[in-house]
Structure 1
Amino acid sequence: MSSTTLSGFNRLRRYFEDFAVGDAVRTPGRTVDIGDITTFAGLTGDHYPLHVDEEYGRTTRFGGRIAHGPLTFGFAVGLVALSGFLGEAIVAFLECQHLRALAPVHPGDTLQVHAKVVESETGNNARYGTLRLDYSVINQKDEEVMQFRMVLLARRRPPVENNGA
């Protein structure tokens, strides 16, 4: 089992075969700010008061505005992508399974992701394999705020051609 951080990868030419069950990465942190939440609301049209109205948010169990769940999900996907852990292996996003928002994300929270390969399936296509990674999103208090499983299609290593050697 191996684990790495951002410095371990530099957009490597990686393939499906380069991932083993247990391989993991812990990303650097990223602080969520009010501008992120406001921009996300504008981009998606999700102007629910819990996200955009501080006064309303203070009347809720959260005590103030919180980030949209899909924004937290997006940050998690982006942090793993920026880490370089997946290199250039991923061809397509296939599915997100078991997504659970476990705690609110407030403006000022700093998020990190621990992503771990939990399954690797070669399948019938010689060009692609399927990877399943569990993502755990952690805040600055080391509390898990979100978890989910990503199912990704990964490029397999091309066969080595033997040119009569």
Structure 2
Amino acid sequence: MFYKPYGEYTIGDTWTSFGRTITESDVVSFAGLSGDFFSLHMDEEYARTTQFGRRIAHGMLVLSISTGLLHFEPGVIAAFYGIDHLRFTTPTFIGDTIHVEETVIDVQDRGERQGVVTTKHNILKQTGETVIRAEFKLLLNRA
């Protein structure tokens, strides 16, 4: 989505990513990198006793993977500007396939050379359920 310079986005522009399946290896690797070994993610026996009935992927893992599904063009992106209204709405299980749907909801000039594009960032799984929703803000360079 973020391959055009600032000034070429209008409110309502949309983009959909390709899919990516969340794997056991993703969950274990993320636990090792983040230090988040919470039982709901790592302990199948414990997870069976929860409302989810099985292990779930870390919400922050799914959010992180979603950024890898976006198209970031070098030279266009000046900086990641922030995330607002982040919500983890439905669990993502090992084996679920996620994709991202982006919709531009705001554009704001930041001087002559840059601007901030805000998108509604929805991560959905193969069932059509939204697993994470947020507003992403990116500082983009003009052409």
TM-score bracket relative to the smaller structure: over 0.9
> Does residue 1:71 correspond to 2:61, yes or no?
yes
Q: How is 1:20-39 mapped onto 2 (pairs within 5 angstroms)?
A: 20-39=10-29
Compare the two structures and name the one with the higher strand fraction: 2
- Name the structure 2 match of 1:138: 124
Q: Report the residue type matching 1:122 in the other structure.
A: D
1:78 shift after superposition: 1.3
For residues 106 and 115 of structure 1, what CA distance do their matches in structure 2 show? 22
What's the Cα RMSD here? Answer: 1.5
1:18 shift after superposition: 1.7
1:122 shift after superposition: 1.1
1:94 aligns with one of 67, 70, 81: 81
Higher relative contact order (CA closer than 8 Å, sequence separation 6+): 2
> Does residue 1:113 correspond to 2:100, yes or no?
yes
Q: Report the residue type matching 1:128 in the other structure.
A: Q
1:156 shift after superposition: 1.2
1:76 shift after superposition: 1.4
Larger radius of gyration: 1
> What percent identity do the matched residue pairs reach?
36
1:137 shift after superposition: 0.7
1:65 shift after superposition: 0.7
Unaligned runs of 5+ in 1: 1-8, 158-165
- TM-score normalised over the length of structure 2: 0.94
Q: Deviations over 1:89-123 (max 9, x none)?
A: 21101110000000000000000110111111113
For residues 96 and 67 of structure 1, what CA distance do their matches in structure 2 show? 20
